Structures are given as C-alpha cells and as structure tokens.
Structure 1
Amino acid sequence: MKFLNIFWNRELRRLRLVPRLLLYVLFYLLSYIGLSILVKLTGAFSITGSLITSGIIEATLTLLVVWSAGKLLDRRPFAGFGFHLNRRWFEDLCFGLALGAGLMAVIFLFEWAMGWISITEFFGTNTMYSFIPTRAFFWGQFFQALVFYFLAAFSEELFFRAYPFINLLEGFQKIKIKRELVAWLAAGLTSAVFGLAHMGNPHATWISTLNIFFAGLMLCIGFIYSKQAALSIGLHFTWNFFQGVIFGFPISGTISPANLIRINQQGPELFTGGSFGPEAGLVGLAAMLLGSFLIIRYLKRRQTFEEQPS
C-alpha cells in the first residue's frame, strides 16, 4: 500500500502530480497521432490545408484533451484551468490584446529608427501561386491568419500553461516557501518546456530557445497573479499576429501568409533575431521584460483597487 501511495492520493482519490502530467502528455500525443492517421486514411489533406481549418482542429483537440484530463485525472472542472468567465476575465483579455500589439509596435519602431529594417511594400502575401495576388486575395489570407493565430494562441496557452501550471502550482503547495515563489517555480518549469518545444522551429538557436523561455515566463504572469488564462491568451495572440501579419517579422522561424507591411531586415541578428524573429534577439527580450513589468503593475494595481473599501 505504501508503494501505491507514491502514485495515488487517497485523500483526493486521484493520481499524484507526476503521473497525472505524464498521462496528460501521453493522452495528447496519442490523440494527435490518432488524428494524423485518420487524416491520412481519409485523404483529407485539402480540408486540413486551410489555415482556419487546421487551427480549429488543433484548438478542438487541445480543448478536448485538457477537458478530459481535468475530468478523468484531476477531478477538476474546465473553469479551474483559468476560465472563470466574468467581467474581470474579459478586462484581462483586452489588456493582453493591447499589450501584445503595443510591445510589437515598440519593437518595430525601434528597429526602424535604428535603420535595421526598411519597408519594401504593403499588402504582401506569401503564396505558392505564380500569379500576382489581388487585394481581395490579401484580405482573404489576412482573415485566415487572424483566426489561425488566435486559435494557435488559445491552443498553446491551454497545453503549455493552463493545465500544467495549475497542477504544478497545486502540487508544490507542500513546499515550505512563499506561494509567489512556488508559482514562479511552476512558471519556470512550464516555460522551460515551452522553450524546448520551439527548438525544432526553422532557424532556431540556443538564444531563441532561451528567449522563448523568458517569453513563457512573461505569459505565465497572468496565471501567477490571477490564476486566469485571459491575459496570456490575449498577449500571445496579438504578439504573434502583429509580429508576422502587421509588421512582417518572422514568427518563431515561420512566415505569415500575409503581411500588411513587408520589410527588409538588415540589422545585427543578436539584436533583431534575424530569420527566427524578434524572440531570438535582444530587442525582443527587452520587450518581454517591459511586458512583464507592465503585467505585474497592472495586476497588482487592480488588486489594490479591488481591496479598497467602498
């Protein structure tokens, strides 16, 4: 029985932290492999080729995995992973949306002022077709990218932060240190996985991996101080969308299907991130540090305001 106690929490009637997380990852991998086999057998390549469709599939798969893991492994409702939807939740979402767009605008304006980038054209598309795309074609690609990057941000926040962070935070409660330090420990572990998961991206380097780790920490701050996913989803979405679609930067080594502004980047890669994008450069890292400061300030000021007597 003592051996079983290593894996089973009799008081909560569920698996302990480590086997829960391992089964969660295994469940996701098996679901992903099963879906890939189904797509291959049915020949649904043309369907999944759409950005919007692939985004919906990824988001639905991740949502089902997190919901199922919460129900079967955690005995926790889906709302417990940072989705207590109320007015404050949507306020945090809006703040995250504004912050992601603002930070990327700061990066663009700084590099442009330094002479590291030049604007080559507007309304550009990246397509395999040989004909010159029309303006209508651009807006079609733009809309697809808008939906896709939101769904991708939602999926990544669910998979990399919502489920593992809440579980790690709960599992580390027995450590006799302050709750805030426990939360940062959980954030560090999830961010390390987040960074390593991007090592396979095109043009990835050890610098980009380290910077993605810091990006993960920035995205965890909303969970640390509010236990809600809203701010992180909003920030993740607009950071990527404005990075690739609006300002024409690479997005973690990948190229957006549409660029409102197309640029030629010539600055030092140590600062700009080169072909990987701003996440691999010192300018991007500085923006992450600024963003982290602004998030903490926003959440602590809101908490102070709410604690004031009416």
Structure 2
Amino acid sequence: MANFKDLYVRRYNTEALYFFLELPLQSAIIIAYNRRNEGRNMKNKRIFKDFQSSQMSLNIYTSPLLAFVFVFIGEFVAYTLYGISLLALIGLARNFGEAGQNLATYLQTLQQSLTDKTSDFRLILALLSFGFILNTVFRWTKKVEKRSIRTLGFYRENFLSSLLKGFGLGLALFLLTLLGLVALGQYRLESIRLNPYSFTFVVFTIPFWILQGTAEEVVSRAWLLPQLASRTNLKLAVVISSIFFTLLHVGNSGLTPLSLVNLFLFGVAMALYLLKTDTVWGVAGIHGAWNFAQGNLFGILVSGQPSGTSLMTFLPQGNQDWLSGGSFGIEGSIMTSLVLLLLIVYLAYQLEKENERM
C-alpha cells in the first residue's frame, strides 16, 4: 500500500509541498522535544501547571471537537444577535416620523451591507463576533472547568509589553514576506489612500484585529494545547492543535494545498511562541498584527477574505499561485512557508536552549 508521501506526491504532482509538511514535524519541532525530559520541562510552564486546576480534562478526540463547538456557538450567537438587533432598530425607528424613516433606511443599508464582503461595517461585525467566541470559552472555563480566565495565559505581568512585542513581531513578519514577494515581482503597489476616513478606519480596526487574533489563539492554543498535553506528549499536542487551526479555515475562498500547509506552519509557530513566552498576549499580538497588516494596511486578501478599506492596495502579479498565493492571498505563497519555517526553527532552537538550562 502506498504511504502518505506517495499518495500526496501523486495527488499534487510535487514533492515540494510534502517537504513543507514533513520538515516542521521531523526537524524543527523535534529540535525542541526529542530528548526524553524536554517534554516534561516544557510541561512545567505556567500555562500547563495552571491547567491542573481544571475540574474537567478531555481526551485528544473530544477536546478538538469541543473547540469547534466554541467557535460555532460564538458565531451563531453573534450573528443571531446582529440580525435581531438590526430588525428591532429598523422597526423602532419607523415610529418616529421622517427622521425615524431616514434612520430606518440607513439601518437597512447597513443590513444589506452584511452580504457585501468588501463592506467596512461587515468587517467590524465579523471581527466583533470573535468576542462572542472568546466569551464562550471563558464561560466554559469558569463554569465547567472551575478555573479562572487567567489560567488561559492572561497573566497581568508585563501583559502590555508582551502584546506590543507580539504585535511588532507580527508586523515585521508580514512586511518581510511582502517585501520578498515584491522583490520577486509577485506583488505590486496599486494604490495609496491617505484620506481622513481611510486613516481613521484603519486605525479603528486595530483593537478588533487583536480581538480576533486573541480569540483564535485562545481556542487553538491557550485552551486546546494544555487539554491535549494533559493526555499525550507535547509534540503530538502541538501537531493536533495546529491541524485544528488549519481546519478552521477550510471553508475560505481560494484554498490550495500550499495554503493549508502554511496555516499548519503558522499554528506550529504560534504554539512554539506560546511555549517560549508562557503567555497568550504575545501570540495574540502576532496573530492580530499579521491579519491587520495584510488586510487594512496593505489591502491584501486575509486567508482568501477581503477586509474593506485599506491604506494601500497591493495586487498579485503573474499566474504562479504557488509563489504569489493567488486568490488566497500571501498566506498561500511559498514565501510565507519559508518565513514561517525560519521562525519555527528559531523558536525551536530557543526552546532547546531553555530546556538545557532547566
């Protein structure tokens, strides 16, 4: 029977993508975890110790399923509330004469814009929905697991510096990736918008992107990773949580095998950064900054999704989707793979040095 590599190469007619699947698992992560005592040392991290206060520990099958439920419930509650609220406000406004009718018309316009993927209003509500996902995880953690939200990595010590450092790193990583693609002729600057509305809106989106990044990192890493690590070795926990993160995006437009690989690599990188910093603030900053820069700073598709108004617009060139990322955006590019692999190897090396000191 053909092994996974044979099947994968036969399906996509290239060994390159398999290489990028295999490398982070069999080299970068193993650098940090291949010694017998290193997994135990990593499990001495505060985020794992604090998980021990949980009154419910799920197995490696049910914990990812519950994480999907968190996302579904959060989004369902958010969009149900949005719809009911807009309908109620429209109905109420119509009872207040001409001014009320004008307001109702405006609200109807906003309601219709929810189906427009380029709408700024739709973007803000979409990002705000991640707050409902975060609230779902918080309620489960407090009511069912009987532990504080702080144990999810929300430690007060140096939280602002950790968040800002992560945000700066996220901007730098994306800028490095974009500059590489511009240098290779795969992206070009199409337009610049420095008008008051564009600047104000772009700055306004920053906390919402941080909220989005925080929610995904809490579900995929800060909550799920300790759950998995309590039932299996840490390397497998990192792999499963990264696969979960990848699966969250399978419904996005423009998805390719390489973009799936990059989503997985991003998950591995964030897991290692979480282990390195032992707090959720840093990964929340990186995740939020990467998406913010991609969408509202440089006007590039975020995991295949448009993000409304941006200060600049960069467009892909040519027909080499494996290099430019195609309709999935930069996250589908081989350049992103290289940047993420470098980050993974660096973090793995740092964790190995840390283990040697333990």
| Shorter-chain TM-score range | 0.7 to 0.9
**1:1-310 correspondence to structure 2 within 5 Å:** 14=56, 16-17=58-59, 18-19=61-62, 22-23=65-66, 25-26=68-69, 28-43=71-86, 46=110, 49=121, 51-59=123-131, 61-87=132-158, 89-123=159-193, 135-172=195-232, 182-267=233-318, 268-296=320-348
Structure 2 CA distance, aligned partners of 1:202 and 1:62?
A: 22
Q: Deviations over 1:234-290 (max 9, x none)?
A: 111111112222233221111222332222321421112112112111101111112
Distance, in Å, in 2 between the alignment partners of 1:148 and 1:34 is 18
Q: Distance in 1 between matches of 2:336 and 2:188?
A: 18
Counterpart residue identity of residue 70, structure 1: T
Greater alpha carbon shift after TM alignment, 255-264 vs 272-281? 255-264
Following the alignment from structure 1 to structure 2, what is the Cα–Cα distance between the partners of residues 62 and 287?
29
CA contact (8 A) 1:272 1:284 kept: no
Letter in 2 for 1:211: N
Partner amino acid, structure 2, of 1:136: P
> Bigger CA drift: 68-77 or 48-57?
48-57
Deviation at 1:54, TM superposition (A): 4.4
Q: Which residue of 1 aligns with 2:91?
A: none
Distance 1:266 1:75, change over 3 A: same
- After TM superposition, the runs of 4+ consecutive aligned structure 1 residues lying more than 6 A away are none
1:60-90 C-alpha deviation (Å, 9 max, x unpaired): x123212221123323211111112202x44
Alignment partner of 2:251: what SS?
coil
CA distance in 1, matches of 2:64, 2:190: 47
Helix, strand or coil at the partner of 1:236: helix
Instruction: Say if 1:22 and 1:194 are closer, same or farther in 2 by CA, change over 3 A.
Output: closer
Give the Cα separation in 2 of the matches to 1:73 and 1:210.
34
CA distance in 2, matches of 1:147, 1:73: 29
Structure 2 length-normalised TM = 0.67
How many matched pairs? 275
TM-score, with length taken from structure 1: 0.77
Aligned partner of 2:180: which letter? Answer: F
Tell me, yes or no, if the aligned pair for 2:70 and 2:137 is still in contact at 8 Å.
Answer: no
- Please say if residues 173 and 339 of structure 2, whose CA atoms lie closer than 8 Å, have aligned partners that are also in contact: yes
In the aligned structure 1, how far is the partner of 2:55 from the partner of 2:339?
Answer: 44
Deviation at 1:24, TM superposition (A): 5.3
- 1:43 aligned counterpart, secondary structure: helix
Q: Label 1:242 to 1:198 Cα distance change in 2 as closer, same or farther (>3 A).
A: same
Identity of aligned residues (%): 23
Q: CA deviation at 1:99?
A: 1.7
Secondary structure of 1:171's aligned partner: coil
Q: Secondary structure at the match of 1:121?
A: strand
Identify which range, 15-24 or 155-164, moves more after superposition. 15-24
Q: Extract unaligned runs of 5+ from structure 2.
A: 1-52, 88-106, 115-120
Amino acid at match of 1:190: S
Taking the aligned partners of 1:279 and 1:102, their CA distance within structure 2 comes to 15
For structure 1, list consecutive stretches of 5 or more residues without a partner in the other structure.
Answer: 1-10, 125-134, 173-181
* One-letter identity of the residue aligned with 1:39: Y
- Counterpart amino acid of residue 244 in structure 1: G
Contact 1:183 1:224 (C-alpha < 8 Å) held by counterparts: no
Aligned AA (1:277): G
AA in 2 matched with 1:270: W
Equivalent residue number for residue 35 of structure 2: none
Letter in 2 for 1:41: I
1:152-187 deviation digits (Å, cap 9, x = unpaired): 111111222221112112232xxxxxxxxx222111
Provide Cα deviations, 1:67-126, integer angstroms capped at 9, x if missing partner.
221123323211111112202x444333322221111111222122222222222117xx
- Greater mean deviation of Cα atoms: 223-232 or 274-283: 223-232
